[in-house]
Amino acid sequence: MAPIETAPKLYGMMAEFETAEQLIEAASRTRSAGYKKFDCYTPFPVHGLTEAMGVEEAKVPWTVFVCGLIGAMALFGLQVYISVIDYPLNVGGRDFLSWPYFIPITFEGMVLFAAFGAFIGMLAYNGLPAPYHPVFNVPQFARASTDRFFLCIESKDPNFQHDRVYEFLQSLNPVRISEVEA
C-alpha cells in the first residue's frame, strides 16, 4: 500500500467502536502504546474509561469547596455587617450580634455559591461552551451521543505519524476509522 501523505490540516484520527468495553480496551492500549494526546467520546459516562486513559483530577471538588466557603463567609459577613455595624437596631430586645439567627442564611449562601461553583467550574474546565469542535466534522460522530464509542488520537501528539497511527488503530479492530479535519 502506498503511504498516504498527511493532510496538513488534520486534527486527528478517529476510531469508532460499538461497545464501551472495546473502547476501554482500546484506550488502555493506546495509552500503553505511548500516545499522550488522545481522547475518548461516549454517549454516557463509561466507568473505568478515564482510569484506562490514565486521567486523574479533582479540580471540580476543590472549586466547589472553596466557593462554598466563600459563600458562607460572605453571607454571614453581610448579616453581621448590616445588623451590627451599619444599622444596629434593637429588634425585640435581641442582641445585635444574635448569631444563631444568622445561621440559616449563611448556610443557604454556602449552598448557592457552591452550586454555582460546581456548574460553572465543570463547564469552564471542560472548555465549554464550544459549539464548534473538529470532531463534529466526522459525520459518524453524530452517533457519539447515541450508541457509538469513539477514540481519537490527535495530531498534536508528539509521536503522531499518520500511517503509524492508522495501523495502530486498525489493530484495535474498530468499526470504522476516519480522519478528523482540523
- Specify the stretch interacting with other proteins by CB under 8 A; choose among 29-37, 153-161, 165-173: 165-173
Residue 119: CB atoms within 10 Å: 12
Q: Does 145 bind other proteins (CB under 8 A)?
A: yes
Q: Which residues contact 86 (CB under 8 A, 6 or more apart)?
A: none
- Specify the stretch interacting with other proteins by CB under 8 A; choose among 28-36, 71-79, 153-161: 71-79
- Specify the stretch interacting with other proteins by CB under 8 A; choose among 29-37, 84-92, 153-161: 84-92
Q: Does 3 bind other proteins (CB under 8 A)?
A: no
Q: Does 45 bind other proteins (CB under 8 A)?
A: yes
Cα 36 to Cα 157: distance, rounded to the nearest angstrom: 6
Q: Does 2 bind other proteins (CB under 8 A)?
A: no
Kindly report the length of the chain: 182
Q: Does 146 bind other proteins (CB under 8 A)?
A: yes
Instruction: Check: CB of residue 125 under 8 Å from CB of residue 59.
Output: yes
- At 28, which helix (H) or strand (E)? helix 20-32
Among 28, 33, 43, 70, binds other proteins (CB under 8 A): 43
Residue (34 or 146) nearer to other proteins, CB: 146
Using the structure block, give the residue that is written with the C-alpha cell 450508541. 147
